[in-house]
Structure 1
Amino acid sequence: MTDTFREAMRLMRTRDPQRREDGFHQLLPHAADFVDELLGEFAQEQDQGLRRWLLELIGATRAPAALPTLSEQLHSPDESIRHWAAVGLTRLDTPEARTVLWRARANGTIT
């Protein structure tokens, strides 16, 4: 894990809303460089707000490695998590991602 990633995650975990935003925006343009780290953080994170941001960052990576996590989160009870999973799958734009989205829409999991 690089210092850049660690610092951004530290900021995203502070209580200061501006510093949290700063951490998110530090990672956003470099999300693809940290896909494995983001997936690991998402898997361990308990804070729902931070999980939403992490999933948004994961979707921004457009990495095939994100497919299982994004697909799984389409079934989350949290509507915002489902939204960011769908956005991430749309950005991924692979045949597998499109199939997962089609099934979720057909089942009424997402709109």
Structure 2
Amino acid sequence: MVQGFDAAMRLMRSRDPQRQEDGFAQLRAHAADYIAALIEQFENEQQDQGLRRWLLELIAEAESSAALPVLAAQLDNADESLRESAIAGLTRLATPEARSTLWRARANGTIA
């Protein structure tokens, strides 16, 4: 499974937009299986903001409770697309903890 993840990440880091899309699609189909690796990549990626956005989108789509801390931490990010992915992921997760996190963020004005 790791080989597939590593190959898809290489594609996502390619300069070729089609290869990037191909890597994203490969990971999207197995986001829940790769949640720990996706979180690690997201936390370690500091250079490529577009890649960070895609990684957070994949983390959100995994619908895994392991994603809750990462998604919650992005609710006050200055990057609107990261905030939106975090909101979507927490909404999709739909656990009591995710709903409480969204409620608190709305109550304190972090998100609308």
Q: Same fold judged by TM-score > 0.5? A: yes
Supply the distance in 2 between the matched residues of 1:19 and 1:95 (Cα, whole angstroms).
Answer: 38
Aligned position for 2:19: 19
Letter in 1 for 2:81: S
SS in 2 for 1:77: coil
Q: Which portions of structure 1, spanning 4 or more consecutive aligned residues, are displaced by more than 2 angstroms? A: none
Letter of the structure 1 residue corresponding to residue 99 of structure 2: R
Letter in structure 1 aligned against 2:14:
T
| Cα deviation, residue 28, structure 1 | 0.4
Q: Aligned Cα RMSD in Å?
A: 1.0
Give the Cα separation in 1 of the matches to 2:62 and 2:23: 16
Q: For residue 67 of structure 1, what is the aligned residue in structure 2?
A: 68
Offset at 1:105?
1.5
Identity across the alignment (%): 64
- SS of 2:15's equivalent in the other structure is coil
1:90 positional shift: 0.6
- Counting matched residue pairs gives 111
Distance 2:45 2:18 in 1: 20
Deviation string, structure 1 residues 40-59 (Cα, Å, up to 9, x no partner) = 00000121100010001001
Instruction: List runs of 5+ in structure 1 lacking aligned partners.
Output: none
For residue 13 of structure 1, report the CA deviation from its aligned partner. Answer: 0.4
| TM-fit CA distance, 1:14 | 0.7
Greater share of helix residues, 1 or 2?
A: 1
Partner of 1:52: 53
Partner of 2:80: 79
User: Could you say which residue in structure 1 is the equivalent of 2:105?
Assistant: 104
Q: What letter is aligned with 1:80?
A: S
Structure 2: how far apart are the matches of 1:107 and 1:22? Answer: 39
